Amino acid sequence: MVVLKTRAEIEKMEAANRIVAKVLAAMAAEVAPGVPTLRLDEIARGICGKEGVKPAFLGYRGFPFAVCVSVNDEVVHGFPSKRKLAEGDIVSMDFGVLAEGFYGDSAVTVPVGEVSAGTGRLLAATEEALAAGIAAAVPGNRLSDIGHAVQTVAEGAGFSVVRKFVGHGIGRELHEDPQIPNYGPPGKGLRLKEGMTLAIEPMVNAGGCDVRILEDGWTAVTSDGSLSAHFEHTVAILENGPRVLSAPVGSG
């Protein structure tokens, strides 16, 4: 069942997502060659403590960290560790909080130092695919219009879209209906309505779309070892179009 949110509830979700954006910005600022990925988890936990909010992922279905940190061919759900980032890596950080009964959720992939031109194109295309998906989240469109927009941009740039993992509704629960694939034909599925709140999150691979899960039971990697990028925003559908609740402060 899709739960529509009131304006007051959307405002609470935006407050939660502002904290998410703050944490992601702090982690991104720390990314550099030689930094262990566990440091990013420490930053996330520290800010959550100061803000008085709960890290959404910590303990969720047994996940043992506050943030998912996925490096290079890791698609999603990577574990922070003592592994040190290296020049030319890319690192995806997926993070959420629970604040005053509502969840926020967002993700970003950033370069570690200088990356190749091809890697830069992967990051840019994935972020552009997210923007296209968000732009399609307007009242009257169909759910599949979001995924079709994402797929069109990503594949048009020469990359592939992960199919195993999808976006989702979000609100009082971290994962609500509907599921939001990042691919498919337009004009299918439920009609988008004002009050829907969605976590739109394309995962785009430089090679093939297939993934596999490592022995830890969480970390998903590309089957062919190619790089993968992940961007996500929590979005509210308003009467006049989508509002990005997890936008970085000062981004407009």
pLDDT digits (tens, 9 = 90+) for 156-196: 999 999 999 999 999 999 999 999 999 999 999 999 999 99
Give the residue-averaged pLDDT of 80-91: 98
Predicted confidence (pLDDT) per residue in 31-67, tens digit: 999 999 999 999 999 999 999 999 999 999 999 999 9
pLDDT above 60 (res 219)? yes
Element (H, E) at 96: strand 90-99
DSSP, res 243 = E
Number of Cβ within 10 Å of residue 215's Cβ equals: 6
Q: What are phi and psi of 37, to 5 degrees?
A: -65, -20
Per the prediction, the chain carries an average pLDDT of 97
Task: State residue 249's pLDDT score.
Answer: 75
pTM, to two decimals: 0.96
Rounded CA gap, 97 and 86, in Å? Answer: 28
Residue 250 confidence (pLDDT): 67
Q: What fold, for 7-244?
A: Creatine Amidinohydrolase (3.90.230)
pLDDT at 251 over 70: no
Asked whether residue 29 carries a pLDDT value surpassing 70, the answer given is: yes
252 pLDDT above the threshold of 60: no
Predicted pLDDT at 102: 98
**Domain ranges within the chain, ordered by starting residue:** 7-244
Report how far apart, in Å, the C-alpha atoms of 213 and of each of 38, 77, 82, 221 are.
20, 10, 20, 6
